[in-house]
A and B are shown apart, each in its own frame.
Chain A
Amino acid sequence: MTTASSMSIFLNAALINNFVLAMFLGICPFLGVSSKVDTALRMGGAVTFVMLVSSICAYGINKALIFIGAPYLQLIAYIVVIASSVQLVEMIIKKFSPALFRALGIFLPLITTNCAILGVALFQTAKQYDFVQSLSYAAGAGVGFIIALVLMAGMRERLELSSVSSVVQGAAVTLILAGILSMAFMGFAGMAS
């Protein structure tokens, strides 16, 4: 059992080992839905919420699987939990805020195959975090995801207005921008104690 404080776990997941820029989790939405700051924020919010719900569920499931002695079912159980919590979130949002539901649209079901969410569940198990530590890890990962997505969206909005050589346009320039952003985040490595 690790004894790191919740605050240091949160900062570690959000900045030092940023989920997108240092651990490469959730690259698909990072490249796919980061063309507008507005959608990036909404997507980030939905992902963070699903992360928190599935992190809580994964904690309980891991305890139960160890109790019945079937750790090899871990991966299958986690993916089922994530798929059903995405479904749950979809139903809750549809019921309480139809406007938000329409705004998120196709992004909601796509969250199931976001590897950052399964990543949170797997890493918190591997690092043997307790309940509070798991929660702050999930919150940190979500905040890190939002930061990366919004920063990238801001840069891409500026990119639209500048003239880029046709050879570099598209995915190539986006990846090189992401590399520079990732390099900037390497600066946070000094904060780790």
Chain B
Amino acid sequence: MATPAASIQTKTSSESADNFIKGLWRENPVFVALLGMCPVLAVTNSAINALAIGAASTFVMVLSSTIVSLAQKLIPKQVRIASYILIIATFVTVTEYVLQALSYEVHKALGAFIALIVVNCMILGRAEAFASRNNLRQSVLDALGMGVGFTVACLSLGTVREVLGNGTLFGFQVFGPEFEPWIVMILPPGAFFVLGMWLLLFNWVKHRKEAAE
């Protein structure tokens, strides 16, 4: 027989797990909520760029959710959005300088899209909808889950585009030398097509499941 304390603990731990996991699939910011689409489409022309933008966004989201959650009682309701944007902008500036020091190549490839993380509606959305009204632990888990979900989505675009458009994956040759690359995949239209195809695939799976039930 479970003691009351133990049952409370299992409840909170399952809640924590749920807050982390929902960002990966059920409430995936890209595939389900269609948030933060600009960087997803713009810089996923190779897998390494996709990984970098995903990691940078996750880093900003976790840190800004931490601060927003800690300061939720200090921020007046009227100026909360402006305060959140300032918190996010600070961490984006930090990220930009760190990335420049770590890898100048990746920084150059991502260009202004690192700075544009500030206006990623996914991050502001999580700060407003979750971190401002939940405790630190849950907010960090939520931000981490959403960030990992975002990174997975970026990678699923980046890998397809790099393999088809360049014949490589993370810079390594995948096909033989006679492979003719689909140039359109690394050009802007390719981003729309690949994301459209992923959404189509998910729709199709969902329809199959509903039809089976």
Using CB atoms and an 8 Å cutoff, list the residues of chain A in contact with chain B: 21-28, 31, 72, 75-76, 79-80, 83, 112-115, 118-119, 122-123, 126, 166-176, 178-180, 182-183, 186
Give the residue name and chain of the B residue nearest to A114 (CB): B119
Nearest first, the 10 closest Cβ-Cβ pairs linking A and B are A179-B192, A175-B196, A24-B42, A176-B196, A172-B199, A183-B189, A27-B37, A182-B189, A172-B200, A179-B193
Cβ-defined contact, B90 with A76, below 8 A: yes
Cβ-defined contact, B121 with A28, below 8 A: yes
User: Interface digits, B181-194 against A, CB 8 Å rule (1 contact, 0 not)?
Assistant: 00010011111110
Cβ-defined contact, A171 with B191, below 8 A: no
Cβ-defined contact, A171 with B34, below 8 A: yes
Q: Which residues of B contact A178 (CB under 8 A)?
A: 192, 196
Cβ-defined contact, B203 with A172, below 8 A: yes
Q: State the Cβ distance, B68 to closest chain A Cβ, in Å.
A: 16
Q: State the Cβ distance, B177 to closest chain A Cβ, in Å.
A: 27
Q: Which residues of B contact A168 (CB under 8 A)?
A: 200, 203
Q: State the Cβ distance, A179 to closest chain B Cβ, in Å.
A: 3
Instruction: Tell me, yes or no, whether B112 is within 8 Å of chain A by CB.
Output: yes
Partner pick for A76 among B93, B112, B119, B193, CB 8 A cutoff = B93
Tell me if A's interface is mostly helix, strand, loop or mixed.
helix
Cβ-defined contact, A167 with B207, below 8 A: yes
Q: Which residues of A contact B191 (CB under 8 A)?
A: 24, 179
Partner pick for A167 among B34, B90, B192, B203, CB 8 A cutoff = B203
Cβ-defined contact, B34 with A31, below 8 A: yes
User: Interface digits, B82-101 against A, CB 8 Å rule (1 contact, 0 not)?
Assistant: 10011001101100110000
Within the assembled complex, what's the spacing in Å between the Cα atoms of A80 and B83? Answer: 10
Would you mind naming 23 contact pairs between A and B with Cβ atoms under 8 Å apart? A23-B42, A24-B191, A28-B35, A28-B121, A31-B37, A75-B92, A75-B115, A76-B89, A76-B90, A80-B82, A113-B121, A115-B119, A122-B115, A167-B203, A172-B196, A172-B203, A175-B192, A175-B196, A178-B192, A179-B190, A179-B192, A179-B196, A182-B192
Q: State the Cβ distance, A141 to closest chain B Cβ, in Å.
A: 13
Within the assembled complex, what's the spacing in Å between the Cα atoms of A26 and B195? Answer: 16
Within the assembled complex, what's the spacing in Å between the Cα atoms of A76 and B89? Answer: 6
User: Interface digits, B165-176 against A, CB 8 Å rule (1 contact, 0 not)?
Assistant: 000000000000
Partner pick for B112 among A122, A167, A170, A183, CB 8 A cutoff = A122
Instruction: Tell me, yes or no, whether B118 is within 8 Å of chain A by CB.
Output: yes
Give the residue name and chain of the B residue nearest to A189 (CB): B187
Instruction: Tell me, yes or no, whether B51 is within 8 Å of chain A by CB.
Output: no
Partner pick for B38 among A28, A170, A186, CB 8 A cutoff = A28
Cβ-defined contact, B38 with A80, below 8 A: no
Cβ-defined contact, A176 with B193, below 8 A: yes
Within the assembled complex, what's the spacing in Å between the Cα atoms of A114 and B38? Answer: 10
Within the assembled complex, what's the spacing in Å between the Cα atoms of A189 and B22? Answer: 42
Give the residue name and chain of the A residue nearest to B85 (CB): A79
Cβ-defined contact, A24 with B112, below 8 A: no
Cβ-defined contact, A170 with B192, below 8 A: no
Give the residue name and chain of the B residue nearest to A123 (CB): B112
